[in-house]
């Protein structure tokens, strides 16, 4: 655990302080975000910068040890990997759309569908917080 925490400053800076799944900003939530293994250690994931992401507790706890989930058609899809594209936010936009009017995140891809469902990215608490952060101009 200490080893993961050693990467915290770099992981937070790289993510711009945002959950790399649901976009919530750590500084505006009042909770400490998790440094998560994108590929969980139980699946052989290493504690290396390329396998770490900043995740809010809601996304990380919902994701658990999964690396895939079902899309709307019931097919297994890999979950979103924030490290797949050099800029996680660019990669994020390949799989998701943020509706700035209502705060909802919708999918652009089967991976987006599976990830939104598995991580419950639009659950009531995160949606409420995301709306507030959008209204405050914190989520660009
Ligand atoms: Zn999140």
DSSP states along the chain: -HHHHHTHHHHHHHTTTB-TTT--BGGGTSSPPEEEESS-GGGT--SSGGGEEEE-HHHHHHHTT-SEEE-TTS-EEEPP-TTSSSSHHHHHHHHEEE-TTT--EEESSHHHHHHHHHHTTT-HHHHHHHHHHHHTT---
74 CA distance to ligand 1 centroid (A)? 23
Give the global pTM: 0.95
Ligand 1: centre distance to CA 134 (Å): 14
Taking only the tens place, the pLDDT of each residue in 54-64 is 999 999 999 99
Residue 2's pLDDT is: 55
- Predicted local distance difference test score (pLDDT) of residue 140: 80
In the chain, how many domains are there?
A: 1
d(CA 62, CA 29): 18
Distance 44 CA to ligand 1 centre (A): 23
pLDDT digits (tens, 9 = 90+) for 70-88: 999 999 999 999 999 989 9
What is the 63 CA–ligand 1 centroid distance (Å)? Answer: 10
117 vs 129: CA distance, rounded Å: 18
User: Ligand 1 center to residue 82 CA distance, Å?
Assistant: 12
| Res 3: pLDDT | 86
Has residue 12 been placed in a domain?
yes
Residue 37: domain span: 2-135
Specify if 140 maps to a domain.
no
Percent of the chain with pLDDT strictly greater than 90: 94
């Amino acid at each position: 655990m200490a080893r993961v925490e050693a990467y915290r400053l770099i992981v937070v800076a790289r993510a711009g302080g945002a959950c790399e799944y649901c976009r919530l900003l750590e500084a505006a939530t009042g909770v400490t975000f998790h440094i998560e293994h994108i590929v969980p250690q139980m699946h052989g994931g290493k504690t290396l910068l390329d396998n770490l992401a900043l995740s809010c507790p809601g996304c990380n706890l919902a994701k658990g040890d999964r690396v895939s989930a079902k899309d709307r058609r019931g097919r297994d899809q890999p979950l979103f990997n924030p490290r797949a594209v050099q800029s996680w936010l660019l990669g994020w936009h390949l799989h998701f759309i943020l509706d700035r009017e209502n705060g909802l995140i919708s999918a652009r891809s089967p991976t987006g569908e599976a990830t939104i469902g598995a991580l419950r990215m639009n659950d009531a608490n995160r949606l409420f917080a995301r709306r507030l952060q959008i209204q405050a101009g914190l989520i660009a």
